[in-house]
Amino acid sequence: MSETMKAYVYHGPENMSLDIVPKPKIQEPTDAIVKVTTSTICGTDKHIRHGGLPEVEPGRIIGHEFCGVVEEVGSAVTKFKPGDRVAVSCVTQCMECYYCRRGMYSQCVDGSWIFGYMIDGCQADYVRVPYADSGMHLIPEGLTDEDVLFVGDILSTGYYGAEMGRIQPGDTVAVFGSGPVGMCAMATARLWGPANIVAVDIDDSRLDFAIRNGWADMGLNPNKVDVPEALRAMTEGRGADVTIEANGFEPTFQGAINSVRSGGTVSIIGVFETPQTVEMNKLWIKNITIAMGLVNANRIPELINLIKAGKINMKPLITHTLPLSKVAEAYDIFEERRDNAIKVVLKADA
Ligand SMILES: [Zn+2]
Ligand SMILES: [Zn+2]
């Protein structure tokens, strides 16, 4: 008789449930089995819940941002042993293919094994981690799960957005979408020394939150001001040097494109469900770079160093913590933004 566990399973659009499923087993010598101690609900999970990412197949266990304790390792895993506390990258990486050798782990040809998407995820008691040696990162002594929880996804995604933006010291950076990913982009944009980080969102409370935590210097609400106009007014008529789209919807996409200066960079990390129109007839002459992509998650060790050194602290994003057994309620809190929910964290059931 095989052992069982609890897991939150996608059965089709608007149909997820906490089920009893078989506990995962080592399948390849490079696998590890991790007991999930802390996981999150991500914006991408909302897209999956509503059927917006049809490549996710019914029966898939959801969740891709987590920390845990190594339970068991395959025979080829050399860096970890049972009992190690780890933060885990949301994209798995073989380290041998064309893309992995170039640091583009998100494009790994060995399956694009993204947790809770192409393979079973972490909103469960246990998860199987392929290529454990490269995807897992030891949590330093003295740091909690919550300290490093976001390195596996949203903090790496925010960093990737800032990195693609090629920010220069003294720049004005505008981040469209002040959700958790947007706030991670603001916090990491600081690493390049911009003069001004501008948060853009229709929710004033989120703008205030980003400023209060030191991630943004100021906020703009598109329902109250003409954002491209306001950014031009701040930059001698030019527009933002870098815009980061962190939402995945038409208004933020257009805002990011319309607010960047000539020669600037639009960096897109939002997850889109629908095609977008780019007015090439107006844009071609402006020498704008539009960059986009799925997180490479290739800077997790450096992000952990920055957290350990007190240079980055995204813990204030955690507004709600629930046990895995209440995962359905946790999704509702997250989606309804109940009590100003920003990031909802799931803890292992005692
Ligand atoms: Zn995510
Ligand atoms: Zn690879």
pLDDT in tens, 286-298: 999 999 999 988 9
In 41-146, DSSP assigns E strands to: 60-61, 66-73, 85-88, 126-129, 136-138
Distance 129 CA to ligand 2 centre (A): 14
pLDDT in tens, 202-261: 999 999 999 999 999 999 999 999 999 999 999 999 999 999 999 999 999 999 999 999
Distance 110 CA to ligand 1 centre (A): 20
Contact (Cβ atoms closer than 8 angstroms) between residue 11 and residue 48: no
Which ligand gives the minimal distance to the CA of 154? Answer: 1
Which ligand gives the minimal distance to the CA of 40? Answer: 1
Q: pTM score, two decimals?
A: 0.96
Does the structure show a pLDDT above 70 at 54?
yes
Q: Give the model's pLDDT for residue 197.
A: 98
Q: Tally DSSP H helices, then E strands, for the chain.
A: 12, 16
Distances (CA, A) of 316 to 183, 194, 224, 312: 11, 22, 27, 11
Q: Write down all domains in the chain, each with its CATH number in brackets.
A: 4-153+297-347 (3.90.180.10), 156-292 (3.40.50.720)
Q: Please give the DSSP secondary-structure letter assigned to residue 338.
A: G
Which ligand gives the minimal distance to the CA of 130? Answer: 2
Does the structure show a pLDDT above 80 at 112?
no
Q: Give the model's pLDDT for residue 13.
A: 96
Give 83 or 113, the one with higher predicted confidence.
83
Contact (Cβ atoms closer than 8 angstroms) between residue 330 and residue 320: yes
Query: Apex CA 172: angle with CA 169 and CA 177, to 5°?
Result: 125
Separation CA 40–CA 154 (nearest Å)? 10
pLDDT in tens, 132-179: 999 999 999 999 999 999 999 999 999 999 999 999 999 999 999 999
